Structure 1
Amino acid sequence: MGDMNKTNLNWAEINMSALHHNLEMVRSQLTAGTRIMAVVKANAYGHGAVEVSRALIDYGVDAIAVATLGEAVELRVNQINIPILVLGTVAGQDIEELFEQGLLPSLNNLEMALCLNECGRKRGQKIKAHLRIDTGMGSYGLLPDECMQIIDKLVKMEYLELDGIYTHINTIYGGRREDAIKQVSSFEHLMTQLRQRGIHIPMVHASSSPAVLKLPEAEYDMVRLGIVLYGLPCGNQFLDDRVRAVMQIKTRVVTIKEVGSDFGVGYGCTFTTMSPTRIATLAIGYADAGFLHFLKDGEVLICKQRAPIIGKSCMDHLIVDVTHIKEAAVGDEAVVMGEQGDERISAEEIAMRSGICMDNCDLVCLLSSRVQRVYIK
């Protein structure tokens, strides 16, 4: 029987050596001097933003990117003191917080720039910002055709310093290289216009994880690394076969019982046993890992063997068939995602069985705070 510890009935193991390996694998492919911005939005894609950021700073990243002001403030409170870019928008009433925390806002429109400049004037404090260009995403950022007129105004603002300019090459996520090249060409045309006007912006960045590995012409001064750091697939395939999965999701067997044939399992009795069956309950449900709600014909690993999930996932537990695993016992470790012995259940396998798109690592972002993160070297 394994250990039963109330603090770790389910947990995610975060392998920091794998994180370091993935970073160095990408770094080895970059031009010398290219800076690295690590993306730790959505709690570092479920891996734990504070601990991951601390490690990445030790590993030599130059900057951090998050989606929201709240995420950035959490990092500052935890002494993450390198540059932090806020990729999303910031409400007008929260702009002062950007100054107080020394953050880099993204400029998505002229109105945001005017608010920042006015706030800086009142505070007697200058703020650096990065201008976002929409070359095809359709969400945040200025359209290329309107950029030059607005940039002419930005560079004249007394309390706003244009420290960076960037775009997001979204089409590379679907593997459409030709469309991605069009986005790069649109962005490069803008860079050419800036150079012709003698406008120098220190940090130019366009590449996120798939572009770094598949579109080297978009490298520029800095790259933004997200999913590749965490060893996650993109579009149900790995960006590079050298990356290592950083997260494993584990739980424990909490009950085992013998039931007869024609026994209904779970809510709605969607599974009925055909013969006497040995069933085990695991201490993890869709409130812990949201993808479990969608998982079809899923399996877990117990005693180095695959055990099929039977019935619907419950909010707080799963039921699996361990009839064929005679040695299974209460307290045993069960791997929901990861490795045990020679068996492996990967993120892409779960994504396919769940019908979840892995383009933006949806699966691990569905891991709740109830799942303890355990960091291993």
Structure 2
Amino acid sequence: MICVERPTYVEIDLNALRHNFALAAERAGGAGRILAVVKADAYGHGATQVARALRRQGVHWFGTALLEEARELREAGLNDPILVLGGVFPGQEESFAALNLTPCIFDLEAARRLNAAGGASGRSISCHLKIDTGMGRVGFLPEDLPEVLKQLRELEHLHFKGVLSHLALADDPSSSHNEEQMARFHAVLDTLHEYDLHPRHVHIDNSAALYSDLMPECTLVRPGVTLYGGYPSGHFAHLDLQPVMHWRTVVAAIKTLPAGRGVSYGHRFVTERPTRIATLPVGYADGYNRRLTGCGEVLIGGRRAPVVGTVCMDWTMVDVTDLPEVGVGALVTLLGCDGDDCIRAEEWAERIGTINYEVFCQVSKRVPRVYKE
């Protein structure tokens, strides 16, 4: 029995997380090569609990986007290396040194500030060098690398232990852009060696690349969405990934409306027959996307019921006319599995025109997470 104060909650299946991790570790050649990406609160799954579970599986590297996310892990007692992918903003340098965090470096001014903080604290700060091989976002351009390296080598309190890049089209394994980025990354490694720099950690593979064998010589790989049971794209739907997030609620009220009666704001749904409407205590403030109006479905007792009427801030209505056994208090699955059926994040994403990553991340903090072993 799972007990929470609110009848709307997210159940995080840690067994499924371990299953997905085992697949990644097998592909990577061992748990020690995994840098688990737990940014954005582990894609909405709860970074602290997820990191602790993965730590028990042998993960020793974690990736966050922000200093604040890394601080949360440190305060929870996680002392393993944390790579902060989002870099160092002015004023954060002392915290990076004090918390022993590893930042990505992709601009010289930030490197100089960080070097000064390292000197003031009397310690060297480990960094990973970010290279833009074709993402067009952040990172030093390969053609600028010789001059960049000359300046970085003058910063005696920075210790460059890693080099990384990021793939823009890895979710499409057939794209020639992947090979172009890999070729640029290989050239970057050659340039580093020319400057007698031999970083211990080399990584470019994300979830999609890990399952595409794009660059097996990487010393680290960075799975994210696949750890949580999401496919990087439809090309990877054959993978045996188990959903980790199961979003539940209950039926709060039921009423039968006559034909011709409108439901919810704007009366975007009007009954065509006597209709049993079940109201659920969940809405877009919880992350149940308003665009699921008229196209979403939920699972009740393993059977599907359509969302009808406009999704509200705190309420959602479904049609249970064809499910006469459903009563007040019945368990409802919004996302995840119930019985033999499962509503995956990919299904939501297709219905509302987004990606599964956003589906996971949209689940509001006001929805409690419950961790199931």
Normalised TM-score (structure 1): 0.94
Partner of 1:53: 51
Q: How does 1:118-267 map to 2 (within 5 A)?
A: 118-236=116-234, 238=236, 240-267=238-265
Distance 1:34 1:52 in 2: 17
Q: Contact (CA 8 Å) 2:294, 2:306: kept in 1 or not?
A: no
Moved more, 287-296 or 323-332: 287-296
Q: Contact (CA 8 Å) 2:205, 2:215: kept in 1 or not?
A: no
Match of 2:289 among 288, 291, 305: 291
Partner of 1:67: 65
- State the SS of the aligned residue for 1:337: strand
The aligned length equals: 373
Distance 1:276 1:33 in 2: 57
Distance 1:135 1:239 in 2: 27
**Could you tell me how far 1:236 is from its partner in structure 2?**
4.2
The Cα offsets for residues 324-353 of structure 1, whole Å up to 9 and x where unpaired, read as 111101111101111222222121111111
* 1:44 matches 2:6: no
- State the SS of the aligned residue for 2:130: strand
Distance 1:248 1:47 in 2: 10
- State the SS of the aligned residue for 2:137: coil
Distance 2:301 2:22 in 1: 34
List gaps (5 residues or longer) in structure 1: none
Partner of 1:15: 13
The Cα offsets for residues 193-216 of structure 1, whole Å up to 9 and x where unpaired, read as 222332211111110100011134
Distance 1:92 1:223 in 2: 29
Q: Contact (CA 8 Å) 1:169, 1:207: kept in 2 or not?
A: yes
Distance 1:18 1:122 in 2: 45
After superposition, the Cα gap between the structure-2 partners of 1:210 and 1:190, relative to the gap in structure 1 and judged at 3 Å, is: same
Whichever residue aligns with residue 82 of structure 2, its letter is I
Distance 1:4 1:125 in 2: 47
List gaps (5 residues or longer) in structure 2: none
* 1:364 matches 2:330: no
Whichever residue aligns with residue 284 of structure 1, its letter is V
Whichever residue aligns with residue 369 of structure 1, its letter is K
Distance 2:287 2:190 in 1: 46
Q: Contact (CA 8 Å) 1:253, 1:329: kept in 2 or not?
A: yes
Distance 2:216 2:2 in 1: 50
Match of 2:304 among 303, 306, 313: 306
After superposition, the Cα gap between the structure-2 partners of 1:239 and 1:144, relative to the gap in structure 1 and judged at 3 Å, is: farther
Partner of 2:76: 78
Q: Contact (CA 8 Å) 2:259, 2:274: kept in 1 or not?
A: yes
How well do the aligned residues superpose, as a CA RMSD in angstroms? 1.8
- State the SS of the aligned residue for 2:236: coil
Distance 1:327 1:118 in 2: 68
Distance 1:157 1:58 in 2: 36
Q: Contact (CA 8 Å) 1:212, 1:219: kept in 2 or not?
A: no
Q: Contact (CA 8 Å) 1:295, 1:354: kept in 2 or not?
A: no
Whichever residue aligns with residue 106 of structure 1, its letter is C
Whichever residue aligns with residue 371 of structure 1, its letter is V
Distance 1:152 1:103 in 2: 24
Distance 2:90 2:344 in 1: 42
Whichever residue aligns with residue 336 of structure 1, its letter is L
**Could you tell me how far 1:44 is from its partner in structure 2?**
0.2
Q: Contact (CA 8 Å) 1:255, 1:330: kept in 2 or not?
A: yes
The Cα offsets for residues 253-295 of structure 1, whole Å up to 9 and x where unpaired, read as 0001111111110001110001111110011111112434445
